[in-house]
């Protein structure tokens, strides 16, 4: 067991003790989560209906992309050759997404798809768990509250990156950033199994 896994496991145990629960009690049946459970309820909109995102007529895609403000220098100039600006480390422009504080320190089980952060001949120990296949690799990453940074206690073998998995362990609210995506949750995984 490496130091990082040991630290995540010890931290989860200390969180349980601080909350007045014994770590043994934490090993009861996990709370089975759906991805929607990781998003807090939306505040009321004061009677304002949501604006539909429907384009009429010709659309200038750059104008649409720039509606949140100009791109910063970390994205480079899109006219540069792809191998120069796409290989730069990703920097998030979005603030962290809202989380559900009541899930902090809970032992959970959640299904999703693996985006490996370390891959050694199909053996994975550190990963991002995402709600849909291809997230962070083939399409832009989902909001940070839909990405879980997972550290498995023991490495597990992957058959195929498109196979869904169940991950069980203690969920904590920790903002982290990788080259692929930002995550608002971390999970010290006891087990990872095919769904």
pTM for this model (two decimals): 0.63
Tell me what the pLDDT averaged over the chain comes to: 74
Does domain 3-40+96-194 bear CATH number 2.60.40.10?
no
pLDDT at 131: 93
The DSSP bridge pattern shows strands 148-157 and 182-194 to be parallel
41 versus 110: the higher-pLDDT residue is: 110
DSSP one-letter code for 103:
G
Residue 137: what are its φ and ψ, rounded to 5°? -110, -55
Domain edges within the chain: 3-40+96-194
Residue 35, burial from CB neighbour count under 10 angstroms (0-12, 13-18, 19+): middle
Average pLDDT for 176-194: 92
Q: Which pLDDT tens digit goes with each residue over 34-91? A: 999 999 987 767 766 655 545 455 555 555 455 555 545 444 555 555 444 443 445 5
């Amino acid at each position: 067991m490496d130091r990082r896994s040991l630290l995540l496991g010890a931290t989860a145990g200390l969180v349980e003790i601080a909350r007045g629960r014994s770590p043994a009690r934490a090993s009861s049946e996990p709370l089975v989560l759906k991805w929607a459970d990781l998003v807090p309820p939306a505040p009321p909109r004061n009677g304002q209906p949501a604006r539909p995102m429907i384009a009429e007529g010709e659309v200038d895609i750059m104008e649409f992309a720039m509606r949140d403000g100009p791109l910063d220098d970390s994205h480079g100039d899109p006219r540069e050759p792809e191998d120069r600006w796409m290989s730069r480390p990703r920097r998030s422009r979005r603030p962290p997404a809202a989380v559900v504080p009541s899930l902090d320190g809970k032992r959970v089980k959640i299904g999703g798809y693996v985006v490996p952060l370390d891959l050694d001949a199909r053996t994975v120990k550190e990963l991002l768990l995402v709600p849909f296949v291809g997230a962070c690799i083939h399409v832009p990453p989902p909001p940070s509250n839909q990405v879980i940074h997972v550290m498995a206690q023991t490495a597990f073998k992957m058959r195929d990156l498109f196979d869904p998995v169940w991950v069980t362990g203690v969920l904590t609210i920790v903002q982290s950033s990788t080259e692929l995506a930002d995550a608002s949750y971390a999970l010290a995984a006891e087990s990872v199994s095919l769904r």
